A and B are shown apart, each in its own frame.
Chain A
């Protein structure tokens, strides 16, 4: 998923369009497959799915290098795949298998892998917003040109952690990019009910942090904004906040019937499906090829997860202390 950085303003070349489309398609089909496996009882626990928000994870991570880091949330499947966790390792983790990216200890809400620069996803809302400052601080102290990106929802911006982390990142000028996925609802609560400030980007101004709003359904827009922010962070110019206006096509979690949203609103956002937006630049043959290769990758991942061993019960006691 990682690729050479484009300089800001570069026109999207065909290879980039292909790469981004396939990346988003992998997440979409992964989530569909996961939902089916969940209904069949193969995947235990609960799920917070990423359908609809694919452009954000894909556009952001396309700019990041393998040695850049991300923090994620309770809804991490898309972030994990985009940062380079394999479909096999992600699927096996969801199945609770030893071959999962967290050896079965993490599960759906804690997908991650240090080998690809992703902390175990942090499922406490706002939790990543302070931890990411430490990633940035380590990078700054070591004078590396790495960058840390923090994914969080609009709901997290009402947590104290968001404000403490943002202010600290600002005063220390840390190499951080804050990616707010504003999908309009914190679980069932619409943002306008819990914030008089409609745009999260506005909140960044209070801390002297540059911010911008982008169409979170347009992967090229997300990518371009991220490229600017990452270049700025790498150059030592400190953090940037990018607010991606987006929408989840599913409920908050598996038991959510979405009765707090209207059919009209859902239809309006469905028409802006990130796969349709970017798909307009692809021909039919290309998209069919991607469908086939994604299907093969996911068939393989499901088979890998199924045939992988369970952890031994005694492994529950391992890995607490270093």
Chain B
């Protein structure tokens, strides 16, 4: 049998997400999109251009422009999902999720359980995160609030291939799934804005999915495990490059899903390297890195050759000035220094 050729193109995350939604809408008439500014003609296709062109194909019936009413957006997604629709709800900035905590935490996450398992809530909530010089109320990484909630799944893709595949999985999942993407990684502002990282990835043209709950080893290594998401993942990979020139080999893991966490991949790596650093742009205290650290401490303590390190945004609201923002968000140099410290 000749090997099948998998056709690919290079796409940005924004393009990949758009394809995922369009393909799922074509595949399943129950899928629809709702949010602010998602389908206005002459508008901007959502806050980061992800939805450009969708209203032309699917019309206003399935691309629903809502009032600026985050509670209504989330509540409508919950109610429609209960009746078997598969809504993709959009939050322009993840900071706005606090407007609809009741709908997400008390309703979406709990209706199945409260019904004795009779209902399901197959909805997706997409929300951009990240400090991007927009200050304290448009720059948070609130993933950890939702990682804490039984009944929700939380994913955090960082490249176009995985973003498309896991969004498709999230839409097909019978549970509420929050999809957090980083604003700097959409690719809509070019490479400079993302610190020069290549924001495109090879994406197959065929229908594929990426499973929820499975981490990816982005770079194999033997000396230290570094778990990171989003922009911090790219900084961890840059740090690993630097460290490699000093013969320190990091194993860099993208957890991809924050709940349920792929313990197997992370534990396996730590058992091999004996060292763990977790890097995230969420603030330190109570961040999801603490959960990873606690589980590794529980399960892999005998393998650890150094204390577990968390490299996270400092415990302050995001400041606006570039120099201030840079001072609180994890940087490549910090990751390099921390790994060296772990290696003594």
**Residues B76 and A103 in contact, CB atoms below 8 Å apart:** no
Q: Counting CB contacts under 8 A, is B137 at the interface?
A: no
Contact B79–A137 (Cβ < 8 Å)? yes
A130: which of B74, B82, B113 is its contact (CB, 8 Å)?
A: B74
Contact residues, B58-86 vs A (CB, 8 A): 61-62, 64, 66-67, 69-72, 74-85
**Which residues B74-133 have CB closer than 8 A to chain A?**
74-85, 87, 102-103, 106-107, 111-122
Report the nearest A residue to B79, measured CB to CB: A134
Is B262 an interface position by the 8 A CB rule? Answer: no
Known: A105-B113, A112-B115, A127-B107. A133 touches B174 (CB 8 A): no
Q: Tell me whether B118 and A161 are in contact (CB under 8 A).
A: no
- Residues from 152 to 181 in A contacting B, C-beta threshold 8 Å: 160-161, 164-165, 167-168, 171-172
- The answer to whether B115 touches A120 (Cβ under 8 A) is yes
Q: How far is the CA of A101 from the CA of B321 in the complex (A)?
A: 55
Q: Of B32, B79, B118, which is within 8 A of A114 by CB?
A: B118
A318 contacts the other chain (Cβ, under 8 Å)?
yes
Contact, CB under 8 Å: B72 / A133: yes
Q: How far is the CA of A164 from the CA of B72 in the complex (A)?
A: 6
Distance in Å: Cβ of A163 to nearest Cβ of chain B: 8
Q: For residue A138, which residues in chain B have a CB less than 8 angstroms away from its CB? A: 79-80, 82-85
- A117-131: which have CB < 8 Å to B? 119-120, 122, 124, 127, 129-131
Give the complex CA separation of A165 and B103 in angstroms: 12
- Asked whether, in the complex, the Cβ of A141 is within 8 Å of the Cβ of B119, the reply is no
Q: Given A105-B114, A131-B103, answer yes or no on A164-B80 (Cβ-Cβ < 8 Å).
A: no
Complexed CA–CA distance, A43 and B87 (Å): 38
Closest B residue to A113 using CB positions:
B118
Known: A134-B77, A138-B80, A138-B84. A114 touches B119 (CB 8 A): yes
Tally chain A residues at the interface, Cβ within 8 Å.
44
Assess the A321–B115 pair: CB atoms within 8 A.
no
Return chain B residues, CB-CB under 8 Å to A14. Answer: none
Asked if A104 is at the interface of the complex by the 8 Å CB criterion, the answer is yes
Assess the B75–A161 pair: CB atoms within 8 A.
yes
Query: How does the 8 Å CB contact mask read for B133-171 relative to A, with 1 for contact and 0 for none?
Result: 000000000000000001101000000000000000000
Separation of A161 and B69 alpha carbons in the complex (Å): 9
B75 touches A131 (CB 8 A): yes
Output the residue of B80, B87, B103, B112 with the most chain A CB within 10 A.
B80
Q: Say whether B79 contacts A319, CB under 8 Å.
A: no
Q: Are A133 and B79 in contact (CB under 8 A)?
A: yes
A residues less than 8 Å from B106 (CB atoms): 122, 124, 127
Interface assignment of A301: CB less than 8 Å from any CB of chain B: no
Interchain CA distance A292-B106 in the complex, whole Å: 41
Q: How far is the CB of A69 from chain B (nearest CB, A)?
A: 8
Q: Is the CB of B114 within 8 A of A120?
A: yes
Digit string of A30-47 for contact with B (CB within 8 Å is 1, else 0)?
Answer: 000000000000000000
Whether A135 is near chain B, meaning CB under 8 Å from some CB there, is yes
Q: In the complex, A132 Cα to B107 Cα: how many Å?
A: 12
Contact of B122 among A69, A139, A160, A322 (CB under 8 A): A322
The reply on B232 being an interface residue by CB < 8 A is no
Q: Which residues of A contact B102 (CB under 8 A)?
A: 124, 127, 161
9 A-B pairs closest in CB distance: A134-B79, A130-B75, A103-B116, A319-B117, A322-B174, A138-B83, A164-B69, A134-B80, A120-B114
Known: A131-B103, A167-B67. 16 other contacts (CB 8 A): A105-B115, A105-B116, A112-B114, A114-B118, A119-B119, A124-B102, A130-B71, A130-B75, A131-B76, A131-B78, A135-B80, A139-B83, A164-B75, A167-B69, A167-B72, A322-B122
